[in-house]
Structure formats: C-alpha cells, structure tokens
Amino acid sequence: MRLSHLRQRLRDLGAKPCHEDRLLRGWSQVGSYDRAHSPAKTFFPLALRNELPAIEAELHGLARLRGEYPATPSPTLPRTTGEGANVALRASSNDDEVARLLVELHDGQMVESVLLPRGGLCVSTQVGCAVGCVFCMSGRDGLLRQLGSAEIVAQVVLARKRRAVSKVVFMGMGEPAHNLDNVLEAIQLLGTQGNIGHKNLVLSTVGDLKVFERLMEGLTHKPSPQPSGGTTSHLTKPASGQVAGYPASGRGGEREKRSSAPVKPALAISLHTTDSALRAKLLPHAPQIAIEELVERAEAYARATSYPIQYQWTLLDGVNDSDAELERIVRLLTGKYAVLNFIPFNAVDGLDYRRPSAERIALMAQTLNQQGIYTRVRDSAGHEIDGACGQLRARGVKVE
C-alpha cells in the first residue's frame, strides 16, 4: 500500500484535509482519533466512520511482529568519543536496549527493523537488495520486491507499540535510492503527521545521483561557515535561517501548510572505503560515482540543510582498516560538515570477513579524531545473536 493511495481512499470517503490529518496522526503516532470537544464519532464523515474498522484492519495487517531478538551490547568493544577517549559499551535501560524485530508483511514476506538506543529505529525499504554489498546478507538473494510507503511507516507504528520512537533511520534491508518515491513519501508523513523532527529522519544510500537531485529540490545552497577554532570546527553549522521549503518553526501557521512543506531528511552515505577500485568490489552494483564527487554532492546538501552528513564505514579486518585508508580519510573529509561512523562487521555465514580487533578499532577512531575528523564507533546491533542485517530474515525463510 502506498500512502498516496490511502489518502485518495480517505478522500473518496468524504475526508477533508483535517480528517485525513487526524487519522494519519492517530495511526502513525499510535494515538487516539479523539480530541477535546471533538470525538472521532462526530468529527469524521459518516462514510469514513463506517469504513474505519476495515481501514484499521488493513493498516494493522501491513506489518506484524514475527519475532523480537534482544541484542545486549558487548562489554568489551570500546566506543571512542570525539576526544578519542575510550568508553566501554554498557547495557542500558529498556528504552536504550537494542533489539532486532523480524517483521512479517501482509503477503508473508519478511523484513527487519531494529530498535536503537535513545528512541531510534532502523527500518527496511525493500525485501532484499540489488546493490549486492559483498559483506551484507540483505542482498544475497537479490531484490525481491519494493516496500510501499505505508509498509515503511507501518514498521514505525509496530515499534511505537513497544516503546517511544523519536528518530527513524532508513538503513535496514534495501537501498532507499531504488525505492525513492515510496521512501520520500514515508519520510514526508513521518516528518509531519508522524511528529518526528526532520533531522531525526536519516536516509541512507550508497550514493545515487537521483537522491541528491531529489533532495536538493527547493533548497538554496549556503556558503560554508568559517571555522570557529574549536576542536570540531568543521562541524560548525552554517548561518542560521529558514531553509527553503521548510516551515519557519513549529509554532503558528496552518497545519495543512506545515504538512505539505517538503520534509528534508538528514543523509547518510555508505562509503566503506576511499579506494574507488575497492569500493567497486565491495559494492558491485552501486552507481559508479567518483568518491570525491560523492562527497562534494553530500557536502552541498549538508550545508544547505545544516545537517552533517553521516558517512558509514563497515570495518573489515585487513580490507579497509589500513593506515593508508586513514590517511586518505583525512584528506577526503578534512573541513567537511560530516560525521564518520565506524561499524564493526557482523559475522555472516559463508563469508570470510572479520571485524578488526577492538584495539585496532579504537586506535583508528582515536587517530581520526585527533586529526579533526569527527569519528564514532557504532556497535552493529545483533553481533551477539548473529543478527546482522538480513540474517534474521534468512533464518526465518529457512525455517519456512
């Protein structure tokens, strides 16, 4: 189901924008349709009220929980802060615990979502993937089908029935650029009726030109700010001011206008190496864009939105963890409005790749932070349960 189809169905039942808005807010935020002095039974048109049980049943059937797999962070893997200090990962409160969700869609296909710390959620955008990253399980069987925008939002709804969700990252199964219309439609709803801040919606891509073209529509490029002299001066935001296409603030103005203003998400780039030849081997079906051009286009978007680019780097022992890579990273990202996320590799059956040692990971992050490249180590959820992206689905399909 696409959200545009759902909206049209509501309109065919006599819904006006205010009715549509309330229903979509209630669904996406797992809340009531009632308002003070305006209960749903008198607010919604009669035809919509009569059809509402069937609509709700259809929405509920878009995504069902097939299994939940808690993933306790490893106590031995150090996390490196921006200052290079090592901080041991620790188990946290319920809202901070990581858990992988195996989600069954209405047609029996399965995808994965991940509950992340501090209200985060990682969602899938496709069943399978066509990019074929050699270290990833998601694309082992290729692309099976796209997810509709309503199915993407349904993963958020499913997670919100378990705990609060205030950030959504589109980094699960699939390449969002290959399903861009549905992904942007889902982002639009989540950034308006879904009550999630634009910068807390993070679209991840291997780097497709059409992503940059679509996201840059309506944005005015802003000049890079002058360094402030601090240790992370390259993360200084551009001069403040309204970005074209955004509501001026969360206050005032008509709700319909705010809902129709284009939501511009933050952007994450799956980089993994600075060596073009190696990147082509690791991501065999990714667009062949020069790495320098990729970073240049990402930088333009970062400056236009005031959101730093998140560069994702899956760490593979003996592949992309060399001192030469560190030197090239410094040359590539110095002065960029960016964050580099190191993600240690999760073991995958049939693959010989390994994650570097904890000591090597910590040293790499510390070295880059000392060179002014803001670097974080992200523990890849699911390491202890063999739950790298795509593995839970693969096991679920095998059981079938």
Domain boundaries, the chain: 1-60, 64-399
Burial class (CB in 10 A: 0-12, 13-18, 19+), 3: buried
CA distance 365 to 53: 52
According to the model, what pLDDT value does residue 396 have?
A: 45
Task: Classify the C-alpha dihedral 30-9-171-306 as positive or negative.
Answer: negative
Number of Cβ atoms within 10 Å of the Cβ of 40: 17
According to the model, what pLDDT value does residue 213 have?
A: 95
According to the model, what pLDDT value does residue 389 have?
A: 53
According to the model, what pLDDT value does residue 33 have?
A: 97
According to the model, what pLDDT value does residue 227 have?
A: 35
From 145, 59, 48, select the one nearest 106 (Cα to Cα).
Answer: 59
Is residue 169 a contact partner of residue 117, using CB atoms and an 8 Å limit?
A: no
Catalytic residue among 20, 112, 185, 299: 112
CATH code, residues 64-399: 3.20.20.70
**SS3 assignment for 92-144:** CCHHHCEEEEEEEECCCCEEEEEEECCCEEECCCEEECCCCCCCCCCCCCCEE
Alpha helices in the chain (DSSP H): 3-12, 17-28, 40-43, 46-60, 149-160, 180-190, 209-216, 255-260, 276-282, 291-305, 323-333, 358-370, 391-399
Look up 129 and say whether it is catalytic. Answer: no
According to the model, what pLDDT value does residue 283 have?
A: 92
According to the model, what pLDDT value does residue 78 have?
A: 40
Instruction: Report the chain's mean pLDDT, rounded to a whole number.
Output: 83
According to the model, what pLDDT value does residue 95 have?
A: 67
* Low-confidence stretches of the chain (pLDDT beneath 70): 72-95, 139, 220-260, 380-400
Task: Classify the C-alpha dihedral 316-335-206-62 as positive or negative.
Answer: positive
Catalytic residue among 51, 122, 389, 400: 389
**What is residue 221's three-state secondary structure?**
coil
Look up 175 and say whether it is catalytic. Answer: no
CA distance 154 to 176: 16
Whole-prediction pTM? 0.82
